C-alpha cells in the first residue's frame, strides 16, 4: 500500500460511527454480526448481507482495478459500509429499478487501497480524500457519511441513443423524485454516478453535452416536469 493510501485509511480511525439519524433504526437482514474481513469465510458472510429488496453487498464489491492488480476490495469498517450502502440502495437504487427496470452496476464500493491505486494509475479515480463518503463508503468526508455507485439504466439507452442530450430528462426526473446528493453523467452508455449523503448537496454535473452543472442545490420543482416528458 502506498503511504498516501495508508494515511487515508488512518485519518478517520477514531471517528464516531454513524452520525446518521436514519441508521439508528437501520435493520440489517439475516441477523448477521458484521465482523472485519480476516478470512474468506468472513468475506463470504459480508457478501451475503442483503441491503435492500434486490441487492446484496456482494453485488457492489466487484472492481476491474481489484481484478487487474490483485488488490483486495473490501471495507475496513464493514458495519459502516453496509449501513451507508443500505441508504444508497433503499433510497436511490431500488426506486430507480422500480421505475426503469433492471439497473446495471458499473462501479460501487472501493477500498482506500483500490481507489488510491486507481488514482495513481490514471484509471479515472479521484483521490481518496475526494472519494470519502462517495465510492469509499466506510470513511466520512468533512460533512458526514455517504455512498456512491456508478450505474447504467439499460431501458433508458434507446432514448439516450436517439438524442444524447436526453440525459437531462433522467437527471431532472431523479432530482424531482429521489433523495440524491450528487450525480455525474458520462458519455459511455449514459453511465452516471449517483450518491446518497446524510447532508445531500443536490448537485448534478455532466460530461455529456451540454457539459457542466445542470443543478446546484435547487429544491424539488414541479415546473421541472416539462424537462422530462418521455419519463412521465
Question: What are 112-141's pLDDT values in tens digits?
Answer: 999 999 999 999 999 999 999 999 999 999
Domain boundaries of the chain, sorted by first residue:
46-231
Question: What are 90-109's pLDDT values in tens digits?
Answer: 999 999 999 999 999 999 99
Q: Residue for cell digits 478517520?
A: 12
> Is 50 exceeded by the pLDDT of residue 12?
no
Nearest to 140 by CA among 54, 37, 16, 4: 16
User: Any idea which of 11-25, 166-180, 215-229 has the lowest mean pLDDT?
Assistant: 11-25
> Is 70 exceeded by the pLDDT of residue 26?
no
**What does the pLDDT read at residue 33?**
56
Helix 112-120 × helix 3-10 angle, to 10°: 140
Q: What average pLDDT is seen over the chain?
A: 88
Provide the β-strand partners of residue 197. 146
Q: What is the pTM of this model?
A: 0.86
Amino acid at each position: 500500500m502506498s503511504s498516501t493510501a495508508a494515511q487515508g485509511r488512518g485519518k478517520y480511525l477514531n471517528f464516531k460511527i454513524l452520525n446518521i439519524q436514519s441508521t439508528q433504526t437501520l435493520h440489517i437482514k439475516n441477523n448477521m454480526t458484521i465482523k472485519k474481513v480476516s478470512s474468506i469465510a468472513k468475506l463470504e458472510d459480508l457478501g451475503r448481507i442483503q441491503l435492500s429488496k434486490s441487492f446484496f453487498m456482494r453485488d457492489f464489491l466487484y472492481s476491474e482495478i481489484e481484478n487487474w492488480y490483485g488488490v483486495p476490495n473490501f471495507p475496513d469498517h464493514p458495519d459502516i459500509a453496509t449501513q451507508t450502502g443500505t441508504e444508497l440502495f433503499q433510497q436511490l437504487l431500488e426506486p430507480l429499478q422500480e421505475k426503469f427496470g433492471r439497473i446495471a452496476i458499473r462501479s460501487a464500493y472501493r477500498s482506500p487501497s483500490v481507489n488510491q491505486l486507481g488514482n495513481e494509475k490514471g484509471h479515472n479515480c479521484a483521490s481518496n480524500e475526494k472519494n470519502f463518503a462517495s465510492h469509499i463508503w466506510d470513511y466520512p468526508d468533512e460533512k458526514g457519511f455517504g455512498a456512491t455507485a456508478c450505474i447504467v439504466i439499460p431501458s433508458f439507452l434507446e432514448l439516450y441513443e436517439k438524442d444524447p442530450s436526453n440525459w437531462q430528462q433522467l437527471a431532472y426526473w431523479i432530482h424531482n423524485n429521489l433523495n440524491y446528493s450528487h450525480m455525474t453523467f458520462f458519455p459511455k452508455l449514459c453511465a452516471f454516478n449517483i450518491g446518497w449523503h446524510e447532508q445531500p448537496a443536490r448537485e448534478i454535473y455532466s460530461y455529456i453535452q451540454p457539459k457542466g452543472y445542470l443543478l446546484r442545490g435547487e429544491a424539488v420543482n414541479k415546473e421541472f416536469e416539462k424537462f422530462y416528458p418521455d419519463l412521465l
